[in-house]
Amino acid sequence: MSNESAGLCTANTVAAERHSSEVGHSRRRVGVVLTRTARQARARSNRVLVTGGAGFIGSHFVRQLLAADDSEVTVLDAFTYAGHRENLGDLLSCPRLRLVEGNILDGPLVERLVATHTAVVHLAAESHVDRSFFEAGNFVTTNVLGTQILLDAAMRCGIGKFVHVSTDEVYGPLLSGAATEEYPLRPTVPYAASKAASDLIAMSYFHTYEVPVCITRSSNNFGPRQHPEKIIPLFVTRLLKDEPIALHGDGGHVRNWLHVQDNCAGLELVLRRGEPGQIYNIGGGTDLTNKELTGRILAELETGWDRVRFAQDRRSNDRRYAMDWSKIADLGYWPRRSLDDALAETIDWYRDNPDRWAPEQRNPAAPIAAVNLETQAGE
């Protein structure tokens, strides 16, 4: 670590001390002395680093965070195919938002950024299941190693809160019942396995180094600005172009559909009230089979089942996901968006913004650019 980074990190260790008073338990860091600069840092307004903040969920979360209070937000995004400046829109003119183009695998850049923030909300990830079948290594690199690099910086810089955003897919399929946060991790696909591994790494930094980590696991999100590789925008955009859609298997796979704004409300609650070392399921949306979801989309677009063809089921297509979200309800969480109204609003957005579909689809077999772990991307 450079002398500059070391100085910044020492100055920022006050975040750990402040966190101790908030959650009511002591944290002892061996060999760290709080300087006068560190004590003065208490007067700073909250500064939140959001990784993946130009993506679908990330951009919605940044919007909510800036509207909630006077927090300063820095977005760190690599602007891969799923991240776009347009997702942030009018927020780009907000003086409390800073946008940094860079990769979470760039250790020096990550450390410089973490050192000047009081909290990290980590959303940057490879997230499309189908692509993980072809590029599992890229998922492991980004989701596991990238998370570890962020956690290392959080440990050295004494971050006040680290919210690691995960998925219900780490629990694997449940034919009945609902997974609590203590349920075993049983991922069945490379994407989910990489997220489960990152969850375990994150929690290990809490137990070993006392990094104040919280983990959230949400169900399937939907809403405006989602990349059209995911089922709702994929089906909507294809139908709007008068193209057929393919339903895997018998269409009986069950998913819980949660509007992105409800997920972001849960993320904000965990950021502000979540207890370090705890995991919070964020659910409460509407359970639908894929066939039922398809029917709703067809009805909204006033078209028929003749546009649908049934295709061979996807490999390792988990039959059902389900979570118990009573734990986060104790923090005051409750989903507010109904599926019918929110789905209609989402479809309207894709109808009104055809220029935002590009790239319309990405070939999952196409090569992904190699990651340079020694990149020195500037701020």
Q: Can you tell me which residue has the tokens 């002395």?
A: 33
How far, in Å, CA of 87 to CA of 356, rounded? 9
Burial 356-376 (b: 16+ CB within 10 A, else e): bbeeeebeeeeebeebeeeee
How far, in Å, CA of 294 to CA of 68, rounded? 35
Contact status, residue 201 vs residue 191, Cβ threshold 8 Å? no
Is-catalytic flag, 191?
yes
Strands (E), 10-137: 47-51, 72-77, 97-101, 119-122
Strands 254-259 and 286-289: antiparallel
Separation in Å, CA 174 to CA 59, 180, 255, 286, 352: 31, 12, 11, 16, 38
Looking at 169, 229, 268, 318, which residue is catalytic?
A: 169
How far, in Å, CA of 361 to CA of 222, rounded? 17
Looking at 168, 199, 229, 318, which residue is catalytic?
A: 168
Looking at 171, 183, 191, 321, which residue is catalytic?
A: 191
Is-catalytic flag, 360?
no
Is-catalytic flag, 242?
no
How far, in Å, CA of 178 to CA of 85, rounded? 37
How far, in Å, CA of 295 to CA of 18, rounded? 51
Q: What is the CA radius of gyration of the chain?
A: 21
Active site residues: 168-169, 191
